Amino acid sequence: HFRLYWHDIVGGKNATAVPVVFPSRNSTTAFGMISVIDDPLTMGPELSSKMVGRAQGFYSAASQQEVGLLMAMNFAFMEGKYNGSTITILGRNTVFSKVREMPVIGGSGLFRFARGYVEARTHRFDPATGDAVVQYDCYVMHY
């Protein structure tokens, strides 16, 4: 078990999430939107805390009834004993739920044959910019 903070920065000159497909015009849930991400993963909730890796992949607004994302991302570690290793997360994220659970479907390096799950909890969300900090508790079994 380990905890990380995922920083999704959607605006400004240093955006880490870039929309590549825009949502349907009449959608209240951003249905159809796809963003590619290269988000920092840090030890603490502040962006200035120690960065240990990056979340790389995409998320897509896949629900017409609520803000529900399909998350497909690798947590690529760049520090410590997991440097060069990854875990792969693929699942549904209903962003306004208190806790969201998504499966870990694999990994590489020290996380080869990884299985498990992550729990995501929004730590901070700025509705004006769309920027978010999300706490990820990762529960991973590996060889």
Look up the pTM and report it: 0.95
Query: What digits encode the pLDDT tens for the residues 28-63?
Result: 999 999 999 999 999 999 999 999 999 999 999 999
Four-way CATH pick for 2-141: 1.20.1250.20, 2.40.480.10, 3.30.70.20, 2.40.160.210: 2.40.480.10
Read out DSSP for 70-129? EEEEEEEE-SGGGTT-EEEEEEEEETTSS-EEEEEEEEEGGGTT-EEEEEEEEEEE-TTT
Contacts of 20 (CB under 8 A, 6+ apart): 34, 35, 36, 58
At 130 the pLDDT is 92
Under the banding of pLDDT at 50, 70 and 90, the label for residue 142 is: confident
Query: 135 to each of 44, 47, 143, how far by Cα in Å?
Result: 9, 12, 25
SS3 81: helix
143 is written with which tokens?
């060889």
Tell me the domain boundaries of the chain: 2-141
> Span 100-116, mean pLDDT?
97
